[in-house]
Structure 1
Amino acid sequence: MAERRPLITRRLRPGHWVAVDALAAVALAAGFSVAAVLAPESAGVPPYAAVPMIALACLPLAGRRRWPVLVWALVLVAAVFAPFAGWEEAFVPLAVALHAVALLEARRTVVAALTATLAVTAAGAAIGSPSWMEAVSACGFAWLVLGLAWTIGLAVREQRAYAAQAVARSAQVATTAERLRMARDVHDVVAHSMSLISMRAGIANHVATTHPEETGEALSITIAAS
């Protein structure tokens, strides 16, 4: 049977993941920047005005695994000012940053980050939409993406915790089994030695009256066996 090779993602080191995140952040920033520059001017806001906000929201994602809360805070600041620059897709990098927080941080921080993210997204949709119906629609879609990213982060976190507990339990079971095996081996050795001592003592007692000269030999063998 051919040996199964580990997945590529399992062979990547932390430095490799940082490089992957950096490339993804640059690609995301470049894509949104090109789309913003090519978009028509709206509400008197020039298309290139969104580029700084896009850079602030996308480029920090390169460090989301090492500094998830800091990266999320920077992206959240960009999301606050994005509506004034005519950029309506700030919730996309915000969802990526929120996913990292949900995956790596404590539960209290995770809940606080989700609450702040939803509030900022709702305010941005209200500012950037010309009517309340469009604001509700934009906010609902953004909340769906953000909630999905947050939920996936928590699910992956729980799965990793369960896998770690399973490995720990397996190691504990293996250690306990090895100790039981050693205890059985010691018990067998001791039981064999006691049986031998009992047999030699019986021989010594039997020959004590009939063959006294063999009693000392039997006792010496018994003492040596003990």
Structure 2
Amino acid sequence: MTTEQRSRITGPGLPDLAVDGLLALLVGAVVMVSSGRLETFAPFPDVLLLCSVAALLVRRMWPRMVLALVTAAAAAYAGIGYPTLAIIAAPSLAMYAVAQRVSWLRALAAGGLSFLVVLPPFLLRSVHQRGLQVWGAVPIVGTALLLPTVLAVAIRMRRASVARAGAEAVRGRVEDERLQIAREVHDAIGHALAVIYMQAGVALHVSERRPEQAKQALEAVNQVSAEALVELDTTFGVFREEFGADRVDLSFDRLDGLLAAVRRVGLDVEFAVAGARRSLPAEVELAAYRIIQESLTNVLHHAGPVRATVEVRYEPAELVLSIANDEPDGSADAGEVAGPDGKGATGGSVSGNGGHGIAGMRERAAALGGTLAAGPRAAGGFQVMARLPLVKICA
């Protein structure tokens, strides 16, 4: 449905009708004054002027029909002996309405046709006068019909550009929200699945020889599953309440629980804090918690139950995180860390190349204006180093 068709169905609003009414009355009054006919009555020119004024009231609903009507009326008005240039205001207003609803090529064509219809009567009625007055009508009539066309097309292009920019901004926000949700779900579920995978492997391996150990492994699976469900429900609850908020309540107060969970599955984690511990922006605490969680998940998934260190260093302008793990020595009983498929969970340092973990951590750090580096250590193993500025949130 075109803009003109929608206008016909809905009709102009009250403010538009008021503006069109004032403009129509103004055009009628100016034409009457400029033609010197305030105190005289001439049926035919007055009917032409009245038709033009009335047509301008519906120029938004039927712009092309109104343009044809007022153009013919202006030509006739000048042709019968009233060559006042003020009558061109009616086709000019109608031309603006047309140019708002058709392509710029059609608008120029309509303006050119209107120009060719209106100009000859002015030239014919003024041929007995001096050349300046005769040819002076050409630029005036041309400008009166071209200017509204150019103005309307420029406004349409501006509005289209703003609409495109708005649509692109919306698409960008939607994509950011999708990535944010994907990161939250990945971090909330990935850690739990890594722990469940290893504990299920332990239970499966020792179920017959050591049922008590199998029971402990299954209890750990049950606890981790419950915690993951709570965290997942919290994550989606935040998005339901305030779509786009990255404010899941995962602060450093929950680090002890995270470290205890990975220790239960055999990961020897040493935790250290350097610098004066202080309150941090919620966004920084969330990013730091997720980076530590994802790094330890990668250690479990790629290196197995090895020794790992987590260091949180408070600096004046940033929070520095270091998560490192030793190289697996291969001395562990493979059966103790076997997965449900019978394959070992060990296999090297945490490279993270097989998934989106490291990329997600980098995105989290970059969103705060920070950096994250991950790679093998010279002494063996793997290290993740993140720097999260504390002033980006307030910038």
Q: Greater shift after overlay, 209-218 or 27-36?
A: 209-218
How many correspondences in the alignment?
A: 209
| C-alpha contact 1:121 1:143 (8 A) present in aligned 2 | no
The TM-score with structure 2 as length reference comes to 0.47
**Aligned 1:44-193 pairs, distance under 5 A:** 48=42, 50-85=45-80, 86-89=82-85, 90-131=87-128, 133=131, 134-193=133-192
Letter of the aligned partner of 1:60 in structure 2?
A
| C-alpha contact 1:83 1:124 (8 A) present in aligned 2 | yes
RMSD: 2.9
- How much identity, in percent, do the aligned residues show? 27
| C-alpha contact 1:25 1:58 (8 A) present in aligned 2 | yes
User: What is the CA–CA distance in structure 2 between the aligned matches of 1:143 and 1:105, rounded to whole Å?
Assistant: 20
User: What is the CA–CA distance in structure 1 between the aligned matches of 2:103 and 2:34, rounded to whole Å?
Assistant: 36
Deviation at residue 116 of structure 1 after TM alignment: 0.7
The TM-score with structure 1 as length reference comes to 0.78
| C-alpha contact 2:52 2:70 (8 A) present in aligned 1 | yes
Letter of the aligned partner of 1:58 in structure 2?
V
Structure richer in helix, relative to its length: 1
Letter of the aligned partner of 2:68 in structure 1?
A
Letter of the aligned partner of 2:182 in structure 1?
A
User: What is the CA–CA distance in structure 2 between the aligned matches of 1:157 and 1:14, rounded to whole Å?
Assistant: 19
Q: Cα deviations across residues 30-75 of structure 1 (Å, max 9, x unaligned)?
A: 33224434489xxxxx873532222222331111222211111111
| C-alpha contact 2:79 2:122 (8 A) present in aligned 1 | no
Structure richer in strand, relative to its length: 2
Deviation at residue 210 of structure 1 after TM alignment: 8.4
| C-alpha contact 1:83 1:127 (8 A) present in aligned 2 | no
Deviation at residue 183 of structure 1 after TM alignment: 1.0
User: What is the CA–CA distance in structure 2 between the aligned matches of 1:142 and 1:161, rounded to whole Å?
Assistant: 29
SS in 2 for 1:110: helix
Gaps of 5+ in 2: 1-11, 226-395
Deviation at residue 88 of structure 1 after TM alignment: 2.4
Letter of the aligned partner of 1:73 in structure 2?
A
User: What is the CA–CA distance in structure 2 between the aligned matches of 1:162 and 1:14, rounded to whole Å?
Assistant: 25
User: What is the CA–CA distance in structure 2 between the aligned matches of 1:127 and 1:27, rounded to whole Å?
Assistant: 27
Deviation at residue 152 of structure 1 after TM alignment: 0.7
| C-alpha contact 1:33 1:50 (8 A) present in aligned 2 | no
User: What is the CA–CA distance in structure 1 between the aligned matches of 2:156 and 2:25, rounded to whole Å?
Assistant: 26
Structure-2 change in CA distance of 1:124 and 1:84 (3 Å) = closer
**Aligned 1:5-24 pairs, distance under 5 A:** 14-24=13-23
User: What is the CA–CA distance in structure 1 between the aligned matches of 2:200 and 2:118, rounded to whole Å?
Assistant: 90
Aligned to 1:216: 215
Deviation at residue 119 of structure 1 after TM alignment: 0.7
Structure-2 change in CA distance of 1:107 and 1:151 (3 Å) = closer
